[in-house]
């Protein structure tokens, strides 16, 4: 049974680490906050004092952090993973970051004989808790095969998509589709509500047709209840769409719809709603139409 170091115990990382413990893995955890470390220790984990300490003795190191700078600091910075790993240790970054950052970090680890995978996830907190995340993986295929069983403990779908950075390119594509889907659902339900038609009945009528989607099924009940507890915070989706914009600009790919939704989310952030679930995007449309979509 492989020994795992796990760095980053936030909304997503904490339940993911717990699922590894439930599967019988020996897990050493680190976070900048003591509270989640204590919670994981109570569940059977060992505590580390730094990312490098979590990596010491581990065969696989998993990082789950907010964005590229946090991952670079945790892996390459002082006291970072790079100081604790030994040749042959596999680093799996499950954060959603810029593909170019994954490639940069991998290039720094490679001379130490440490292969890396970028393996971002989709599904939010509920799927992290019940271990049904979709995991998209970039990096050497032979390395992927070595850790697939571990990843399968945290996700229902684990797919190797290409070379290092490919996982995060796939995640950016995912986040574009999710953001635009939430925007379309919000726009449609605000229209229905303003027209005097029950948004709940509209949802029931269309969810089984071509417009139906996993996003709709997950987010419309939250919208109808006015429940914007994350889930997946607007500020994190802003981060993902900004990474998508940067990557698209580097490649010369226009993504105008993503840019529009990004600005809607930025407006909500300015309005103090950055910590809302991204289903809270409906509030942007509600403000324009001066009506609320509720049961």
Q: Could you give the residue numbers annotated as active site? A: 171
Q: In angstroms, how far apart are the furthest CA atoms of the chain?
A: 64
Between CA 217 and CA 182 the distance in angstroms is 11
Token pair 């940069």: residue = 104
Tokens matching residue 192: 């229905």
Residue 99, Cβ density class (10 Å: 0-12 exposed, 13-18 middle, ≥19 buried): buried
Between CA 10 and CA 16 the distance in angstroms is 10
Query: For residue 145, what are the contacts with CB-CB under 8 A and spacing of at least 6?
Result: none
Residue 259 dihedral angles phi and psi, to the nearest 5°: -60, -40
Using CA atoms, how far residue 95 sits from 101, 185, 249, 260, in Å, is 11, 27, 21, 24
Between CA 89 and CA 159 the distance in angstroms is 21
């Amino acid at each position: 049974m492989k020994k795992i170091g796990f760095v980053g115990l936030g909304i997503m990382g904490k339940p993911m680490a717990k699922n590894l413990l439930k599967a019988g893995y020996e897990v050493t955890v680190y976070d900048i906050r003591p509270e989640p470390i204590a919670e994981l220790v109570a569940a059977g984990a060992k505590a580390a004092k730094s990312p490098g300490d979590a990596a010491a003795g581990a065969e696989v190191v998993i990082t789950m952090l907010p964005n590229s700078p946090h991952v670079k600091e945790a892996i390459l910075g002082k006291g970072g993973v790079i100081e604790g790993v030994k040749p042959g240790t596999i680093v799996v970054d499950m954060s959603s970051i810029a593909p170019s950052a994954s490639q940069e970090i991998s290039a720094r680890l490679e001379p130490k004989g440490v292969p890396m995978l970028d393996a971002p996830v989709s599904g939010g907190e509920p799927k992290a808790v019940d271990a049904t995340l979709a995991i998209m993986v970039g990096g050497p295929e032979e390395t992927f095969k070595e850790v697939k069983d571990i990843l399968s403990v945290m996700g229902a779908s684990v797919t190797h998509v290409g070379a290092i950075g490919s996982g995060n390119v796939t995640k950016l594509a995912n986040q574009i589709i999710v953001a635009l889907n939430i925007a379309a659902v919000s726009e449609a339900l605000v229209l229905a509500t303003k027209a005097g038609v029950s948004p709940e009945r509209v949802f029931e009528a269309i969810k089984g047709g071509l417009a139906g989607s996993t996003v709709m099924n997950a987010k419309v009940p939250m919208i109808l209840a006015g429940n914007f507890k994350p889930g997946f915070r607007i500020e994190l989706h802003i981060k993902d769409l900004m990474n998508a914009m940067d990557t698209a600009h580097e490649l010369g790919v226009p993504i105008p719809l993503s840019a529009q939704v990004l600005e809607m989310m930025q407006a909500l952030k300015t309005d103090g709603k950055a910590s809302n679930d991204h289903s809270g995007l409906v509030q942007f449309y509600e403000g324009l139409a001066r009506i609320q979509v509720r049961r």
